[in-house]
Amino acid sequence: MANNIQLSKDYLSRCSEKTLQSNENGFFLQFADKVEEVAGNNWINDVFGKLKSDKDRLRILYKFEPVREVLCETLSRVQEIYRQKDASVSRSRRVAAEKLEKDGELQKALLLYCQSVLRAPGTGEEPRIDDGFTLSLAYWSRSKLLMKLKHYSEAITDIQLAMKEELTDDHHAEVYKNMALCYKSLRDVPRAKISIAIAEKMLRGDANKIATFREEFEKQPVAEVTKNQKHLPVIPEGQKNDLPNASSKITVDQESSKGRYMIAKEDIRTGDTLVVQAPYASCLLPDFFGSHCHHCFEKLLSPVGCKDCSSVAFCKPECRDAALNTYHKYECRFLDLIIGSGMSILSHTALRMVTQFGLDKCLKIYQNRDKEEVYQLCTNWEKRSTSDFLQRAVMSAFLLRILQKSGFFKDGCANEEVMPEEEEYQIGELLLYHLQMLQFNAHEIYETRQTPDCQLKDVKVVYIGVAIYPTVALFNHDCYPSVLRYFVGKHIVIKASRPINPKEVVSENYGPIFTWKNLEERQKSLAGRYWFQCQCLACTQNWPSIKNGLRNVTKKITCPSETCHLVFTLPLKNETVNCSNCKKKVNLSKRVAEYQVCEELYDQGKACYLNKEIDKGIDIICKAIDLYHRISVPPHCETHLAQETLRALYAQSGSVFEVGQLKPN
């Protein structure tokens, strides 16, 4: 049976604090502790602890004088802290990159060119350096290296950006010449011809230069067409659901002890697509600001920067513009403050849920919260301690102050007044809800990293961000989940990892899975992080992990009678037996043969993964897992390892990278 695990209040408090401030070197918790100190235990327990709404919890911080003084004094010191542009740094990076390029160190040169782009101010902002053309020169220099590396699409983008930022007249002929070469390599003949004509016109009849250019154009190779492996599955027609982005094969059920959760409406087979959903809100972890697009989370090859800060990077101008027109215009100048506070990625996502929409839409959301699915998700408010509520109220006040200073409320003008106005209180109330809800409903976004030879033992899952997916948040946890998930950019894809019968729970895994964590580890992790004691089959029956005996679990088959579920252990003494449960005489030879077929198919599926026969491998393993669950019951080591192989196979169509590569497969 599952352990009745008892965790100390101190341990639970520390677990919860990590969801507010994850970096121990940050200052936020010290700030919150100071507020708690001046408030005093009597006020916290007898006044604040008696409050029943987030509205009252936030507003009382600004009404109780001892708390208000400390809170407002600290918040009055909130100011812009961000990494600014620097033309001299940009130029030095470009010069260093040019030297590396001449020496044949092309990848190192590309890295420095990218840094040059990201640090460069806009054209004309720093005329003392490069006559104000630092950014256009950075784009132009990088474009030529990208051509050498045969990244022609990216080179064209850089050329266009360099032209937009203005290049001196002596570059113009070469600009169109290079565009013609890139378009030829990309098999875009019409654009290549247009670029040729413009380039030759700009050469002003210089016969020698025109002849040299035409010779170079004829020699320019055509690039191989590379197939984009990324594929976002769709919910099949006829399987649409009232649940956003979900298959009609699943629906929501509810119990007082479990809350809302997913169940199957009809038979679900292994590999069925159950949910494909874009995030309601998402944030990239700061550790990946320099390697991934701040907006779409794609790995960067030739990034473009924010027009104001040097803290983040984008994979293309469209992502940059989407961010600058929404959340980043408010967060931009406070990113270093956000990071320095130590706030968790969940706290940042709570802010992003506001900044991405702007004031008017957020006020409409506030007025219509009962119609928004994301505002119906579990917060465990009834289990939350008074101290935890106080910390989250202080964090919401801190985030609210950032919004005030960012111009979120005043049409781009900073509000120097700390005391909130009514609209500001309403946004603060949303923030306080977000901080509670995200603690239990957010998903970590990951990418899969693997070696070129696709060895499963070398596959690594790397978490790069966090998002909230309202439909996926309704799946309950199981230590032997019935679904797997992977990511295509920021989209989450949920597929069945085993067959599920109608009315059975459709469960996912919140992190601790029985194959890799023992019972005590899982129970402690889930109780500390999610505040519940897991009662799944793997816990109640204490299934062993791979390290603790899963490979030695007795193999078994079920009775072939349709309504009988009696289990027979292998090897059998006799293949024909009298079943003690259904009272029938049954022959088990077919079951034994099918069991052997399952294990053979698992091996074939793994071989397909190693040989990069993705679709074939998926088909084989899905059929094998369905067969196994028809003739046997878990736990079974080979089946669970096959499910891991299946996840790795599906990941090949998502965010997967080979170690050492700059670009996704």
Residue 2 scores a pLDDT above 70? no
Q: How far apart are CA 560 and CA 590, in angstroms?
A: 9
Helices (H), 47-105: 54-59, 65-75, 87-102
Confidence grade of residue 187 (pLDDT, cut at 50, 70, 90)? very high
Residue 75 has pLDDT above 50, yes or no: yes
Query: What is the distance between the alpha carbons of residues 319 and 85, in angstroms, rounded to a whole number?
Result: 20
Give the mean model confidence (pLDDT) for residues 452-458.
72
Percent of the chain residues topping a pLDDT of 70? 97
Q: What is the pLDDT of residues 283-294, one digit of tens each?
A: 999 999 999 999
140: which 2 tokens? 């132009």
Higher pLDDT, 664 or 242: 242
Helix axis angle for 172-185 and 152-164, nearest 10°, is 150
Query: Residue 24 class from Cβ within 10 Å (0-12 exposed, 13-18 middle, 19+ buried)?
Result: exposed
Mean pLDDT to the nearest integer, 454-468: 87
Give which of 326, 322, 391, 394 is closest to 357, Cα–Cα. Answer: 326
pTM of the model: 0.94
> So what's the pLDDT on residue 4?
59
Residue 631 predicted with pLDDT over 70: yes
Residue 627 has pLDDT above 70, yes or no: yes
Are 362 and 354 a contacting pair, CB within 8 Å? yes
**CA-to-CA distance for 88 and 94, rounded, in angstroms?**
10
Summarize pLDDT for 507-563 with one digit per residue, the tens: 999 999 999 999 999 999 999 999 999 999 999 999 999 999 999 999 999 999 988
pLDDT tens string 321-376: 999 999 999 999 999 999 999 999 999 999 999 999 999 999 999 999 999 999 99
Residues 481-498: what's their mean pLDDT?
97
- Range list of H helices, 262-344: 317-324, 328-331, 335-340
Q: What pLDDT score does 258 carry?
A: 84
How far is the C-alpha of 516 from the C-alpha of 544, rounded, in Å? 9
The pair of structure tokens assigned to 635 is 């736990």
Q: What is the mean pLDDT of the chain?
A: 94
Protein fold of 87-219 = 1.25.40
DSSP notation for 620-658? HHHHHHHHHHHH--S--HHHHHHHHHHHHHHHTTSSEEE
Task: Kindly list the distances between the CA atom of residue 93 and the CA atoms of 86, 146, 368, 413, 565, in Å, as whole numbers in the listed order.
Answer: 11, 16, 51, 34, 69
Collapsing DSSP states into helix, strand and coil, what is residue 175? helix
Close Cβ partners of 303 (under 8 Å, ≥ 6 residues apart): 114, 117, 118, 293, 313, 314, 315
Mean pLDDT, residues 467-488: 97
Look at residue 28 in the predicted model and tell me its pLDDT.
98
pLDDT tens track for 158-185: 999 999 998 887 888 999 999 999 999 9
The predicted model gives 189-206 an average pLDDT of 91
Model confidence pLDDT, tens digit, residues 239-264: 667 789 999 999 999 998 888 999 99
Residue 5 confidence class, pLDDT cut points 50, 70, 90: low
The answer to whether residue 398 scores a pLDDT higher than 90 is: yes
Is 665's pLDDT higher than 50?
no
What is the band of 227 on the pLDDT scale with cuts at 50, 70, 90?
A: low
Tens digits of per-residue pLDDT, 307-325?
Answer: 999 999 999 999 999 999 9
Counting residues of the chain whose pLDDT is more than 90, the rounded percentage is 86
Average pLDDT, integer, range 645-657: 91
d(CA 544, CA 552): 9
Structure confidence at residue 443 (pLDDT): 98
Neighbours of 254 (CB within 10 A): 10
pLDDT, position 656: 85
Mean pLDDT of 596-612: 96
Structural domain spans, the chain? 24-77+301-442, 87-219, 554-651
Judged against a pLDDT cut of 80, whether residue 412 lies above it is answered with no
pLDDT at residue 663, rounded to an integer: 40
